[in-house]
Structure 1
Amino acid sequence: MRFAAIAFVALASTALVAQQAPKGPPGSHNPTAVVAGSYAVDPNHTLIEWTVDHLGFTPYFGLFGETTGTLTLDPAKPNEAKVDVTIPVSKVLTTNPALTAHLLRAPKEGAKADFFGPAPADAHFVSTKVTASGENARIEGNLTLNGVTKPVTLDARFYGAGKMGGKDNVGFTAMTTLRRSEFGVAYGIPMVSDEVKLKISAAFVK
């Protein structure tokens, strides 16, 4: 009887521990979890980090958020994927209120805004070609920023996929570098670098 009681307690304890053990995240780094279809940008979990060189002393970075758009993809035909995203420049974020205000400051009468001005148009990226290789992809497209459209290439990488709340999700990271002067934003060059590095964390939900 004593042995049976001990065994029962041990089994009950094991079951309780298993029940209380935290479950893993719904997303998986396994690309076979990707489901074909049309996805919408998850604006709450998509961020674009921009980084410039500040006076040669340090990198300085900020964020764009509240991105919207679509992604169409089929894991069986990755080169046919299409991306169309809109980035509200007016939502730019820095940790310095004065700098954020400067980025969106109205220009002096008859002058050009230093950066984006008080009511900047949304930026817009539309892919024109995707070249996939395993979990990586080269995404060529056109970026419209500050009223100027230029070709931009993103180096993207699959991050994770899975189902959450009954909906299919997929995420990617991407990086690119552009010259802001080509988009008419030349204030402070070369004290603040012309080169801007973009680091993207993109989430999509179907």
Structure 2
Amino acid sequence: MFKRIALTAALIAASTAAFAAPVTYKIDPNHTDVVASWSHFGFSNPIAHFGQVDGSITYDPKNVGTSKVDVTIPLAGLDSHVEKFDEHLRSADFFDAEKYPNITFKSTKVEAAGDKKLRVFGDLTIKGVTKQVVLDTTINKIGEQPMAKRAAAGFDATTTIKRSDFGVDKYAPNVSDNVTIRITTEAVVPAAK
């Protein structure tokens, strides 16, 4: 009888641990967009999209502190809808994409910030310079993605950075130093191989 109780307790503990385990999702680049916006001499607020995003998000609703984010944003996916401007942004005047082809973000801490809200702290690296930023994050939905038929997670996040902190300071402050970044992402558990 004691063995049966011990076995039952072990099975319950194992199933609870499995249920509470963090889940790692792969970012879907087709449903992810990173958008930067800034002031252009005070007259307009242009935007640039950064696509082709790659990376993973590990999320544990039971223990948010174990969650993490690891993202690579290729500058090849930069699109302002103005080809000449894209070329200028990739040049040494701004991102120097030939030498630094990717922007990366690696989380260092994740904390709960209210209902469906998180604060994701991490190291943002642009043009070889790494600075800590905080992403104010909303959990859009966690559940089964109906087309993929697999577990998925969706998040929106925002932050503001000073581009001069990363050596991307051409025309500042007339073209604003502050850049607002908005992110929307959908990530899915990878298919079993």
TM-score after normalising by structure 1: 0.76
Structure 2: distance between partners of 1:167 and 1:117: 38
Q: Name the structure 2 match of 1:68.
A: 54
Q: CA offset at residue 79 of structure 1? A: 2.4
Q: Name the structure 2 match of 1:157.
A: 138
CA contact (8 A) 2:75 2:97 kept: no
Q: RMSD in angstroms over aligned alpha carbons?
A: 1.4
Structure 1: distance between partners of 2:22 and 2:66: 11
Q: Name the structure 1 match of 2:109.
A: 129
Return the letter of the residue paired with 1:183: F
SS in 2 for 1:158: strand
> Would you say how many aligned residue pairs link Structure 1 and Structure 2?
165
Q: CA offset at residue 36 of structure 1? A: 4.6
- Specify which of 71, 75, 95 is matched with residue 116 of structure 1: 95
Structure 1: distance between partners of 2:173 and 2:142: 41
Return the letter of the residue paired with 2:140: Y
- Specify which of 122, 146, 149 is matched with residue 141 of structure 1: 122
Structure 1: distance between partners of 2:101 and 2:166: 13
Q: Name the structure 1 match of 2:5.
A: none
Mark the runs of 5 or more structure 2 residues left unpaired by the alignment.
1-20
Structure 2: distance between partners of 1:176 and 1:99: 23
Q: Name the structure 1 match of 2:24.
A: 38
Q: Name the structure 2 match of 1:171.
A: 154
Structure 2: distance between partners of 1:90 and 1:195: 23
Return the letter of the residue paired with 1:87: I
Structure 1: distance between partners of 2:108 and 2:120: 8
Structure 2: distance between partners of 1:86 and 1:117: 16
Q: CA offset at residue 90 of structure 1? A: 2.6
Q: Return structure 1 stretches of 4+ with deviation > 2 angstroms.
A: none
Structure 2: distance between partners of 1:36 and 1:82: 10
Sequence identity (%): 38
Structure 2: distance between partners of 1:170 and 1:36: 12
TM-score after normalising by structure 2: 0.81
Of structures 1 and 2, the larger Rg is shown by 1
Any residues of structure 2 matched to 1:48-87 within 5 Å, and which? 48-87=34-73
CA contact (8 A) 2:47 2:80 kept: yes
Q: CA offset at residue 116 of structure 1? A: 1.6
Q: Name the structure 2 match of 1:180.
A: 163
Mark the runs of 5 or more structure 1 residues left unpaired by the alignment.
1-34, 106-112
Q: CA offset at residue 40 of structure 1? A: 0.6
Structure 2: distance between partners of 1:202 and 1:166: 18
SS in 2 for 1:44: helix
